[in-house]
Amino acid sequence: MTGTSSSIHLYLPEPRGFCAGVRRAIAIVEQALQQYGAPIYVRHEIVHNKHVIQSLKAKGAVFVEDLSAVPEGSVTIFSAHGVGQNVIAEAHTRHLQIIDATCPLVEKVHQQIIKYAAAQMSIIVIGKSSHPEIIGTIGQIQGYQDLHIINSLHDAETISVKHKNNIGFVTQTTLSVDDTQAIVDVLKSRFPNIHGLQKKDICYATTNRQKAIKAIAAQSECVLILGSQNSSNSKQLRDTALKNGAKLAFLIDDAGEISWDSLQGIQHIGISAGASAPEYLVDELIKTFQQRYDKINIHHVTVVKENVNFKI
């Protein structure tokens, strides 16, 4: 196939793709399959990526949204997003053999919110109420009354709490670093004694990938983010690219989803991948460009070197 231009520049920021929590969660499912044999049940998508899920399904993992779909006594893995205490209790009632693949950084947020509740604090959770991570986080303190989920500057400006001087916040790990900082700044100005991590709970991987995409956004006429539509950190990467100078940005599952019409006349393209997207998808994307264009100029832009691993 011939392209619309003979030459194109591809900007590849680093870090991109798999984070330590995702690598750990996938390895847990693979090891469980080896050790116990198929089927292994996984509550919710282990990580939010279509290709990862398809590959684990092919190896014998069965993904369910509700534990009622798991036969009594079966080996069951909780996804990297974490679960509430009610899910753990249900798993015990059904005598399931639990393996917990919750990311240690999400687990840290769980511990934090439990501490706040034990201290009878007003609790603010910054994040999307329908996201499984937030459901799991608030599920640590089921029934706690003085808890407020907010997700915008307006929410931060208008929220009223019971204990203005005894208040704490936690955040979802995969939000926009800049938007969340603005929300936290408003909360700090309204509630000067608010407790919370100085740098929010947004994880190192989300932070670094957003930093890296910012480094190439302005020179990219279009940015392609590999990741699934239900991946929060991948969506944030697309939005971060747009907010930082990219004229166009698309979130795509793989090279097959590229809208070539949108790339007509474009010669500078940024490519990154969300924390749950495997690197082979980036390789395939580059190969697709190589097949379409006469000359590909690849520019690697390393912003942060990551060396984070979580033990299983």
Q: Which residues make up the interface to ligand SF4 (CB under 6 A)?
A: 19-22, 80, 103, 105-106, 173-174, 203, 205-206, 233, 275
Return the axis-axis angle of helices 232-243 and 204-217, rounded to nearest 10°.
30
Q: Check whether the bond before 15 is cis (ω within 30° of 0).
A: yes
Q: CB of residue 298 vs ligand SF4: minimum separation in angstroms?
A: 26
For ligand SF4, the closer of residues 10 and 135 by Cβ is: 135
Q: CB of residue 163 vs ligand SF4: minimum separation in angstroms?
A: 28
Q: CB of residue 23 vs ligand SF4: minimum separation in angstroms?
A: 9
**Cβ atoms within 10 A of the Cβ of 74, count?**
17
Q: Which of 9, 134, 24 is nearest to 77 (CA)?
A: 24
Alpha carbon 97 to its chain's center: 26
What backbone torsions phi and psi does residue 261 show, to the nearest 5 degrees? -60, -40
Q: Which of 67, 153, 103 is nearest to 310 (CA)?
A: 103
For ligand SF4, the closer of residues 76 and 173 by Cβ is: 173
Give Cβ neighbours of residue 104 (< 8 Å, ≥ 6 apart).
Answer: 21, 24, 310
Integer CA distances (angstroms), 270 to 2, 20, 220, 286, 294, in order: 21, 23, 5, 11, 18
User: Cβ-closest residue to ligand SF4?
Assistant: 21
* 3-class SS of residue 202: coil
For ligand SF4, the closer of residues 23 and 268 by Cβ is: 23
For ligand SF4, the closer of residues 19 and 147 by Cβ is: 19
Tokens of 167: 């208040």
Pairing of strands 147-150, 222-226: unpaired
Q: CB of residue 215 vs ligand SF4: minimum separation in angstroms?
A: 19
**Cβ atoms within 10 A of the Cβ of 150, count?**
21
> Which positions are catalytic?
133
Give Cβ neighbours of residue 145 (< 8 Å, ≥ 6 apart).
Answer: none
* 3-class SS of residue 37: coil
**Cβ atoms within 10 A of the Cβ of 229, count?**
11
Q: CB of residue 283 vs ligand SF4: minimum separation in angstroms?
A: 21
